[in-house]
Amino acid sequence: MLFNSYYNAKLLLTSEYLVLSGAKALAVPLKFGQQLRVEGNEQGYISWQSIANDGSSWFSGKYSLKDLSIIESSNPDIAIYPQRLLVAAQKLSPAFCISSQGCKVISTLNYPLLWGLGSSSTLIAAVAGWAGIDPFKLHFEVSKGSGYDIACAVSNGPIVYSLNENEPVVELVSFLPAFADKIYFVYQGNKQDSAEGIQKYRNRNSNPGTEIIEKANLLTYRMIDASSLSEFEMVLRDHEILISNLLEVPSLRQTVFSDLPGEVKSLGAWGGDFCMLTWRDDPATLSAYLKSKNLETWFNYNDIVL
């Protein structure tokens, strides 16, 4: 075994989009994640296999040790991403894979790929670990994202993440609300393209302004410091209004969850992936409520946050 390690999936709870502009964001690593195992095989090439949470193989490919070109693959479009990571890793560490006689790479997710919880970021962190390089440097070579997901991949608990002159700043924080049993994460069934969402935001808001950044920072620490569910819900409401106005897009409260007795907040790229909501009643009634909206995948905070 040349390398074997596990990296955490993530959820961004505050400052979505604005974290790209320097706002402080609260993010949590999850009990879900991705494992990367690398074994020597002396076959003269890099063999790559991606395993889904049900044990099936959803991608396989072979890459040249000479120039990291794609020899063959089960999906040419998917094959490009591991290649980009390998090329970027070798750029940052020229000795990476140079003396290898061949290796077998196996990446394994323990959650469905479509959930959008960080299959790309965990893979970036994993390849960086294998190459012995800074995961943030590899991230910025291949992505225009903020890097908060990389911080979560290697963190054992909640963080406040920000960019200071494009350099990542990670602050470990204590965040375990006493009312966590009333906080839920709901999958909305629409996998969002993070890169596309980032580009749309940059095109629309190249400079959101100091006042908006300061509002986002305040909301992040208000969420961390909320001592009651009511306080927490006020943060969700205020945050949704801020981002809704910024993007000129209706909030979930205005669309899908207009009849929700609690509060709801979008997470990540608006329009899909997961949202966070509060529910004071028992989980059985929440299940019935969500089923009425054709939403069947949901988790309590305590069940998935690391």
CATH classification at residue 167: 3.30.230.10
Q: What is the pLDDT of residue 134?
A: 98
Q: Which of 172, 192, 211 is the last residue of a domain?
A: 172
Are the C-beta atoms of residues 263 and 277 closer than 8 Å to each other?
A: yes
Q: Answer yes or no: is pLDDT of 61 > 80.
A: yes
pLDDT tens, residue by residue, 253-306: 999 999 999 999 999 878 668 999 999 999 999 999 999 999 999 999 999 999
Mean pLDDT value of segment 120-134 = 97
Contacts of 74 (CB under 8 A, 6+ apart): 57, 59, 60, 61
Widest Cα–Cα separation across the chain = 61
**Per the structure, how many domains does the chain have?**
2
Q: Which of 137, 152, 172 is the last residue of a domain?
A: 172
Q: What is the pLDDT of residue 200?
A: 66
- Are residues 52 and 107 both part of a single domain? yes
Mean pLDDT value of segment 4-14 = 97
Q: Answer yes or no: is pLDDT of 206 > 80.
A: no
Q: Could you write out the DSSP letters of every residue in 220-278?
A: HHHHHH--SHHHHHHHHHHHHHHHHHHHT---GGGTTTTT-SS-EEE-SSTTSSEEEEE
Q: Which of 155, 172, 189 is the last residue of a domain?
A: 172
pLDDT tens, residue by residue, 102-122: 999 999 999 999 898 999 999
Q: How far is CA 226 from CA 43, 45, 115, 171, in A?
A: 56, 53, 28, 18
Give the residue carrying structure tokens 């054992």.
156
Count of H-run helices and E-run strands, the chain? 9, 12
Q: Could you give the CA distance from residue 128 to residue 142 in angstroms, rounded to a whole number?
A: 12
- Are residues 235 and 99 both part of a single domain? no
Q: Answer yes or no: is pLDDT of 53 > 80.
A: yes
pTM for the whole thing?
A: 0.94
- Are residues 163 and 271 both part of a single domain? no
Q: What is the pLDDT of residue 269?
A: 78
**CATH code at 285?**
3.30.70.890
- Give residue 71's domain range: 3-172
Mean pLDDT value of segment 116-136 = 96
Q: What is the pLDDT of residue 197?
A: 57
Are the C-beta atoms of residues 172 and 159 closer than 8 Å to each other?
A: yes
Are the C-beta atoms of residues 141 and 130 closer than 8 Å to each other?
A: no
